[in-house]
Amino acid sequence: MSCATSDLEVQEEEEEEGGGGDHEERAHLEEGGGGGGSFQTQPLRHDDLKEMLDSNKDSLKLEAMKRIVAMIARGKNASDLFPAVVKNVACKNIEVKKLVYVYLVRYAEEQQDLALLSISTFQRGLKDPNQLIRASALRVLSSIRVTIIVPIMMLAIKEAASDMSPYVRKTAAHAIPKLYSLDPEQKDQLIEVIEKLLADKTTLVAGSVVMAFEEVCPERIDLIHKNYRKLCNLLIDVEEWGQVVIINMLTRYARTQFLNPNINESLLEEGSGGDKTFYGSDEDEDEDEEEKEKNAEAPAMAKRKPYVMDPDHRLLLRNTKPLLQSRNAAVVMAVAQLYFHLAPKAEVGVIAKALVRLLRSHSEVQYVVLQNVATMTIKRRGMFEPYLKSFYIRSTDPTQIKVLKLEVLTNLANETNISTILREFQTYIKSMDKDFVAATIQAIGRCATNIGEVRDTCLNGLVQLLSNRDELVVAESVVVIKKLLQMQPEKHSDIIKHMAKLTDNIQVPMARASILWLIGEYCEHVPKIAPDVLRKMAKSFTNEEDIVKLQIINLAAKLYLTNSKQTKLLTQYVLNLAKYDQNYDIRDRARFIRQLIVPTEKSGALSKYAKKLFLALKPAPVLESPFKDRDHFQLGSLSHLLNAKAGGYQELPDWPEAAPDPSVRNVEVKDSVPEWTKCSSREKRKEKKVEKPFYSDSEGESGPTESADSESDSASGSESGSGSEESGSGSESVESEEGSESEEEEEDEEEKNKKKKKKELKKPVQESESEQSSEEEERKPERKSKQRKSDSESESDEEESESESSQSESEDSESEAEIKKKKKAAESKPPTKPVKKENKKEKKEMSLLDLDDFEPAPSPQVTPVNTFLSNSLVTDLEGLSLSDTVLSPATIAPSSALKNYELLHRITGEGLSVEYCFSRQPFSPDANMVAVQMQFTNNATSDTKNLHMEDVKLQSGMRVKEFPEIELLPAGETAAAVMGIDFCDSTQAANFQLCTHTKKFFVSIQPPVGELMRPIFLTENEFKKEQGQLMGMNEITEKLTLDAKCRNEHAIVQRVTTAANLSRVPCGSDKECRFAGRTVTSSSLVLVTVATKEEGAAQLTVNCEKMLIGTMLVKDILLALTQ
């Protein structure tokens, strides 16, 4: 029916529009010179367009195409022009071409044979050197829904999936669902392509390929394992639409792979294991290990095993959280549902604020958000309670929004806030929007049932509403009152009495009918009034509305059954009146009831049951939210909104009983990598890995290639770094293993990346350059070297780097250093200290560079931030498109690796060797102290006990915070400790005795001047201002010639920050590097400027209040830059 009418409409419109179009065409033809066409009649009206398309002039073709596209846009049929249009598919003019593509995509399905003519053009386009042409050819080719070209499409997609341009790969990802919908048979092959694209590291591709995954093979959750961490880390830089898709997919993934974080809730309620609850803090990993052992011993306890969040689960929660600040409501909603479904109860609260913010958005957005909030408020009311007022209703809200807000308010109501809510409801009742008023009355009813304290107040309020003039309001009130009374009728006989009185005043038929029903139902509670009401009603029976009459008959019947003495005659009177009523319904009812209640010979068996029929106990209606239990649908989904499963909806799986093996997410390389020596113990460690997932991974994948948020990763890196520091103080051997393992793990990954990148680069055309914006081109020279170092971005091949000059040399040697470190990390496992040291020395000579910079602290747990990692991380970040001058100090500071000093040689120490380094971490017990990280190694055969320090000899003003005594250092083990020394801004040594249970050693720590300061962050302007105030005596300037390997900005920064604990100051010019810091004790400013000139000439300026420090610092930096 509706279809037919619309067709008619369309036809009418067609005619109308057709006329208009004709005008247009005529006008144009006169102008275009083809005058003859204007006399054409209707059926041939496209001839002129064809003519124009056949002409040689691009402008005519373009004009014709524009008019054709306009026709398509208006929904007119332009299919008869297909042959004329398709000829122009190879047109040189890009504008015409684009419009032809638009036309083809629309009509190819209808004209398959002709469409095939165009295929060869696209195939040619797929080979074009310009990535955009390749992409657009693929886009159109895959949009032509012609089954015959499926093999061609398949081939094209496969090829494009390994294209070197990420944009083409993105298009390939888009093409996958197109092909799948055209021919589902291709699924297996397409999954292969998806798998390949999932491994892609660019943010551009990530969103699109996950979308393809969701459409083609959402059940293949196994494809995600290896890419899980990468997706989590890339997420923040993916475009907003991709974020939504990825987050939704990861929600489902997490539900299959991790344990329910709220599992302890139920255990707590049982009153057991209350002391062992902690929610997923990463540091508690080893405790968990112990815990596990215990549990193994006592299987009975297994059930009470405390929950520990999988680090990958935590990673997901942590990386999605900032997206709550997205401008895109869909992203915010996606994160909100993720938190709702996955986060521990205590953490879900963070989403409330963001969701409330969305209520300021368009009304459609509000509508969807409120639906979801309504569901959430049922499960977690507390979350939204602080925002109660945000759900207050405005008279300008659309009705549907009002009703939803009402729903939320009702869900939020509890004993404490009910009075405010009811007061608010009172104003709503006076609204002009009657649907809304009705909803409000229902809401009051629900509050009354849920909160016993206010039931009476609500009832009274509702009773008042019975006098409202609006029928709807009264009817609704009566219905709600009726429901409330049904719960405890005996208590409210006075209200029933009151309502009985109302029958005199109330004229609304629906309300009268409801009251009569109520009196009939509870006539036992109002035995005196009920017959009286019936009497009155009988009197006015003939004047009542039909529904009221029906209820009068009902009332009469019920009274007859309970109180036949008083009402027999009345009933008969009513029934008689009804017998002759005009309405057949009423006559029928009267006849039926008479037979039932008045026993006659004919009535038979039924009348015996009359009482049961009429006075059956009616169950009290349940007043509950329509949003109850809606959360079994994934929130934010269409299915949730409709409360019905939509096509293609993926169920949100239940949490697994036991977590599946978390090691599936570990990314490893199977074959050995040629550049570095295999270590024998590697296999062993891998086995261990399976048992225990590493958790420093958040750092591993960091540095997304196109990161806009360059700081984000480094920040998160340092965050987790400090986390591991805390746990490191426990310093067990397991812990140190952990560190080295994760390090290696990352290297594995990076190696893999490298290999992959190289493979890509073997392709003939070197397009990687063009991927970068032209702006970047300007800075290419300096950037190149950085990029190469940054593993995730390293697009360089070996040849190139060899041919490069000094820069690349240094770069090479750096990478050598990296390799060496890897070796060390590999070897460090069984700590045979002497051998290792010798190794180191050898290497040192070979590498021809001061490798001190790159040597990590001997034992990984000493340096909280993994030096190698942060190093590459920083270079990664600097290689990003963003101006590297804005990096915050946090990202720069750890880049310079820590230098180790020897405190006690193992020979003099009789087996005990001690090394120390300045960790550059703030010393938490006293901010004025420099933190010194000590590393004790017991090389002796016997254990060392009670390691502590004594007899500290200091210059005046200096202070020391001793490290905590190490009670036992078993043979062959290492331990770490931190001490703080306030050097009073001088390079005086701190002398003390290092004592064991048997011996004492005199040792001293003397700081290099560069360690007496801490980095601060200044802006360029602040720097200039401060510098201006530290002129004259406080300024020291030296001219120098830069070392050959240190003539780029990066190397300078590297060396200066190694020599002194300063942070980089952003600077507009690339000829100047600026650094700032403050001395630790007196907080005097230290400003360093390195201005580079031609041919390695440079000028070093140090501004410092403390002239002595300034002078020494100049010496140190000079040394660092010239060596």
Distance in Å, CB of 178 to other proteins, minimum? 5
687, amino acid identity:
E
**Quick one: which segment of 232-240, 602-610, 862-870, 1075-1083 binds other proteins (CB under 8 A)?**
232-240
Per-residue mark of binding to other proteins, 612-651 (x: CB under 8 A) = ------------------------xxxx-xx-x-xxxxx-
Complex with other proteins: residue 638 or 1040, whichever CB lies closer: 638
- The yes or no reply on residue 974 touching other proteins (CB under 8 A) is no
Instruction: Out of 88, 131, 233, 1054, name the contact with other proteins by CB under 8 A.
Output: 131
Instruction: Out of 46, 134, 169, 174, name the contact with other proteins by CB under 8 A.
Output: 174
Residues in region 480-539 near other proteins by CB under 8 A: 498, 505
**Quick one: which segment of 321-329, 905-913, 929-937, 983-991 binds other proteins (CB under 8 A)?**
321-329
- The yes or no reply on residue 334 touching other proteins (CB under 8 A) is yes
**Quick one: which segment of 539-547, 609-617, 1049-1057, 1063-1071 binds other proteins (CB under 8 A)?**
1063-1071
Q: Retrieve residue 434's tokens.
A: 């009657």
- The yes or no reply on residue 130 touching other proteins (CB under 8 A) is yes
Residue 996 CA to residue 966 CA, distance in Å, equals 9
Complex with other proteins: residue 385 or 732, whichever CB lies closer: 385
Q: Retrieve residue 826's tokens.
A: 């590999």
790, 899, 1045, 1096 from 814: Cα distances, Å:
12, 16, 11, 20
- The yes or no reply on residue 1071 touching other proteins (CB under 8 A) is no
Instruction: Out of 233, 411, 440, 716, name the contact with other proteins by CB under 8 A.
Output: 716
- The yes or no reply on residue 240 touching other proteins (CB under 8 A) is yes
> Which residues lie closer than 8 Å to 921 by C-beta, 6 or more apart?
725, 864, 931
Distance in Å, CB of 100 to other proteins, minimum? 12
Residues in region 1000-1019 near other proteins by CB under 8 A: 1019
Complex with other proteins: residue 562 or 710, whichever CB lies closer: 710
Helices (H), 385-492: 399-412, 418-429, 434-450, 455-465, 471-487
Distance in Å, CB of 60 to other proteins, minimum? 8
CB 966 within 8 A of CB 975: yes
Helices (H), 162-297: 166-182, 187-198, 203-216, 222-225, 228-234, 240-257, 263-270, 285-297
Residue 997 CA to residue 987 CA, distance in Å, equals 31
Residue 635 CA to residue 652 CA, distance in Å, equals 10
Instruction: Out of 715, 761, 995, 1118, name the contact with other proteins by CB under 8 A.
Output: 715
Distance in Å, CB of 885 to other proteins, minimum? 5
CB 800 within 8 A of CB 656: no
- The yes or no reply on residue 542 touching other proteins (CB under 8 A) is no
Complex with other proteins: residue 469 or 670, whichever CB lies closer: 469
Instruction: Out of 144, 157, 160, 177, name the contact with other proteins by CB under 8 A.
Output: 177
In a 3-state reduction of DSSP, which class is residue 1077? strand
Instruction: Out of 47, 283, 771, 910, name the contact with other proteins by CB under 8 A.
Output: 771
- The yes or no reply on residue 794 touching other proteins (CB under 8 A) is no
Distance in Å, CB of 981 to other proteins, minimum? 29
Complex with other proteins: residue 277 or 399, whichever CB lies closer: 399
Residues in region 180-219 near other proteins by CB under 8 A: 181, 204, 208, 211
Per-residue mark of binding to other proteins, 1019-1058 (x: CB under 8 A) = xxx-------------------------------------
- The yes or no reply on residue 394 touching other proteins (CB under 8 A) is yes
Of 28, 26, 27, 8, the C-alpha closest to 16 is: 8
Complex with other proteins: residue 463 or 487, whichever CB lies closer: 463
Distance in Å, CB of 1119 to other proteins, minimum? 30
**C-alpha torsion angle, residues 591, 593, 599, 605 (rounded to 10):** 100
Instruction: Out of 91, 231, 234, 236, name the contact with other proteins by CB under 8 A.
Output: 236
> Which residues lie closer than 8 Å to 465 by C-beta, 6 or more apart?
429, 441, 473, 474, 477
Environment class of residue 242 by beta-carbon count within 10 Å: exposed (0-12), middle (13-18) or buried (19+)?
A: buried
Query: Would you give the distance in Å from CA 1060 to the centre of its chain?
Result: 38
Distance in Å, CB of 80 to other proteins, minimum? 16
**Quick one: which segment of 105-113, 376-384, 534-542, 1098-1106 binds other proteins (CB under 8 A)?**
105-113
Within 10 angstroms of residue 173's Cβ, the number of other Cβ atoms is: 28
Q: How open is the CA angle 696-701-705, to the nearest 5 degrees?
A: 155
Residues in region 899-958 near other proteins by CB under 8 A: none
Residues in region 358-377 near other proteins by CB under 8 A: 360, 362-365, 367-369
- The yes or no reply on residue 709 touching other proteins (CB under 8 A) is yes
CB 578 within 8 A of CB 549: yes
- The yes or no reply on residue 772 touching other proteins (CB under 8 A) is yes
Complex with other proteins: residue 194 or 960, whichever CB lies closer: 194
Complex with other proteins: residue 635 or 969, whichever CB lies closer: 635
Bridge partners (DSSP) listed for residue 1001: 994
Per-residue mark of binding to other proteins, 6-35 (x: CB under 8 A) = xx--x--x----------------------
Q: DSSP states of 588-643 as a string?
A: HHHHHHHHHHS--TTTGGGGGGHHHHHSPPPPPPP---TTTTGGGSPTTSHHHHHT
Distance in Å, CB of 708 to other proteins, minimum? 6
Place of tokens 């596209």: 69
**Quick one: which segment of 99-107, 112-120, 1047-1055, 1056-1064 binds other proteins (CB under 8 A)?**
99-107
Complex with other proteins: residue 171 or 450, whichever CB lies closer: 171
| Beta-sheet pairing, 944-953 with 966-969 | antiparallel
Length of the chain counted residue by residue? 1123
Instruction: Out of 233, 326, 871, 1092, name the contact with other proteins by CB under 8 A.
Output: 326
Residue 1048 CA to residue 139 CA, distance in Å, equals 43
Q: Retrieve residue 92's tokens.
A: 């040189």
Complex with other proteins: residue 109 or 286, whichever CB lies closer: 109
Residue 787 CA to residue 56 CA, distance in Å, equals 50
**Quick one: which segment of 60-68, 524-532, 657-665, 922-930 binds other proteins (CB under 8 A)?**
60-68
Residues in region 140-169 near other proteins by CB under 8 A: 142-143, 145, 165-167
Distance in Å, CB of 385 to other proteins, minimum? 13
Instruction: Out of 11, 27, 35, 59, name the contact with other proteins by CB under 8 A.
Output: 59
Of 721, 892, 897, 742, the C-alpha closest to 822 is: 742
In a 3-state reduction of DSSP, which class is residue 1034? helix
Q: Write the secondary structure of 245-278 as one string of H (helix), E (strand) and C (coil).
A: HHHHHHHHHHHHHCCCCCHHHHHHHHCCCHHHCC
Number of residues that bind other proteins (CB under 8 A): 137
Residue 479: half-sphere exposure toward Cβ, Cα within 13 Å: 18
- The yes or no reply on residue 805 touching other proteins (CB under 8 A) is no
Per-residue mark of binding to other proteins, 830-869 (x: CB under 8 A) = ----------------------------------------
**Quick one: which segment of 622-630, 782-790, 884-892, 971-979 binds other proteins (CB under 8 A)?**
884-892
1037 phi/psi in degrees, rounded to 5: -125, 140
Containing H/E element for 919? strand 912-922
Complex with other proteins: residue 240 or 809, whichever CB lies closer: 240
